[in-house]
Amino acid sequence: MSKRQPRALMVQGTGSNVGKSILTTALCRIFLEDGFRVAPFKAQNMALNAYATRDGLEMSRAQALQAAACRLDPDVRMNPILIKPTTERQSQLVVMGKAMPLMTWSEYNELKPTLRPVVQEAYRSLAEGVDLIVLEGAGSPAEINLMAHDIVNMAAAEMADASVLLVGDIDAGGVFASLVGTVALLPPHQAARIKGFVLNKFRGDRAILAPGLDQIRAITGRPVVGVVPYLERLLLPEEDSVDFKSGRMPRFKKKGAAEVLCRIAVIDLPKVSNFTDLDPFCVEPDVEMMILRPGEALEKEGRPPDVVILPGSKNVAEDLHLLRQHHFDRALREFVSGGGEVVGLCGGLQMLGERIEDPHQIEGNRTPVLGLGLLPIRTVLEREKVLRLVAARHLISGLELRGYEIHHGRTEAAACHPSFVQISGGIGRSTPRGPMQLGWMNETGHVWGTYLHGLFDDDPFRRWFIDRVRERKGLPPLKEIQATYDIEAMIQRLAEVVRKELDMPAVYDLLGMVGGGNGNHRMAGL
């Protein structure tokens, strides 16, 4: 570690999807507002939502969001190891932003001794430029079958000499047992790092909760330093697909919202990735989002969708096979012939084509697979991954927007119309044959796809897209932007709520900080 090691606070959880990432994001912004140079860190993340950095490397979308909370550029040192499950047995490992060949979990565990120094160096280097680091754990630190190979929970806390806040999801039930059980299962020297608890996703009467808070302190000797409410209208990008797989897609109704809705169906693929591309539609007053699983009819409640979107996939061949098993290929062709619109994003774009080849077994597929045949394009998965931020122009609307690419595929489309073209050289590294064309469409423009992630974050383009659907339905276009998808505003709102609900003086005390008031804390001994 550097001579001047920063203070470190770690957010761990009683399990997955309890709110670790969101709380880490909030704390990053709070510490920044209080005058500290702060950075996030997660040693190992297992997620299919990824982000391309400015220098052409790959990291978790969650740590990219936390970097935004710190008003820093996303940096792979914040997430040195990313695991992207590809099959039931194999995953792609991304180390310091660079993809490695597929490996099994046992192969990964054998590799871990060589990865510990990578994690330590990433942390050391990141720590040199900041006053405070907020670390995030993964799953639960009390998975006793995994403790021997741990590099992301208590091992990371020990590396950083971090105090730990343990988060539990009270909405799911059993939170007090989960908190006590986690402490009980940890070795005493590791349990000693847990300085307090945070209850997340609370809704109800605080007075009824109060006796439980007193009792858990009496049992464990640790206080509950905050009770964070269930935030109904928070739409920050998710780290994993737990909520998406549950079928929960929030919709924020606004005053004066249109009575007639545009229905957009998103197909839930087993290896769905970067599904957060669709989050911005949830803020639109005239859009109804629904999640459609293979085997379900396109029509729900007697009404078909207006648009079907195929999101990204980490295993295009397997997901295509499932779609065919449930006759979705036939259903989509009939949908298009009836005037419906089909959109493919990244892996979804590849599925729309005629053929996908994987000669290097990037996704573990030995033989070429036939696509859905809705676009005359062919894709070959190459060893080197395209990773870059790009500016693009949409050729039909003429709108310019920014996004990012993360894909192994090189797509050839000699007989297909381009839909998006690159208007900058791209920020970051890419394959020498990286395409100037970023997407393609059929003659009517009702079947199209793109490699551009984040395109619907752009408010003017999203409104243009929705208005075109409205016109197809015989409705007048609204033209003016109806809703703003503003991640910065969401981070700010989250931080305000968490600051109000957390005992921040207690948090600063456990960090060894003295003083009080925003911006007036200082670190003892530094």
Q: Is the dihedral of CA 318, 324, 329, 331 positive or negative?
A: negative
**Which residue shows structure tokens 């696509």?**
371
> Is residue 366 classed exposed, middle or buried when 0-12, 13-18 and 19+ CB atoms within 10 A define those classes?
exposed
Answer for the pair 132, 30: CB distance below 8 angstroms, yes or no.
Answer: no
Token digits of residue 448:
């199209």
Which DSSP state fits 442? -
Q: For the CA atoms of the chain, what is the radius of gyration?
A: 24
Token digits of residue 54:
């400015």
- Side-chain half-sphere exposure of 318, counting CA atoms within 13 A: 18
Answer for the pair 56, 428: CB distance below 8 angstroms, yes or no.
Answer: yes
Residue type, 137: G
Token digits of residue 321:
């096979």
**Is residue 346 annotated as a catalytic residue, yes or no?**
yes
Token digits of residue 294:
């293979």
Q: How far apart are CA 442 and CA 378, in angstroms?
A: 14
Token digits of residue 170:
């009270």
Nearest Cα neighbor of 229 from 22, 72, 473, 506 is 22
In Å, how far from its chain's centre is CA 206? 31
Q: Quick count: other Cβ atoms within 10 Å of Cβ 357?
A: 17
Element (H, E) at 341: strand 341-345
**Is residue 453 annotated as a catalytic residue, yes or no?**
yes
The single residue of 407, 417, 453, 521 carrying the catalytic annotation is 453
Angle of helix 206-220 versus helix 175-185 axis, rounded to 10? 10
Which DSSP state fits 315? -
The single residue of 28, 346, 416, 521 carrying the catalytic annotation is 346
Q: Side by side, which strands form the sheet with 90-95?
A: 44-46, 81-85, 90-95, 98-104
Angle of helix 316-325 versus helix 328-337 axis, rounded to 10? 80
Answer for the pair 236, 487: CB distance below 8 angstroms, yes or no.
Answer: yes
Catalytic residues: 346, 453
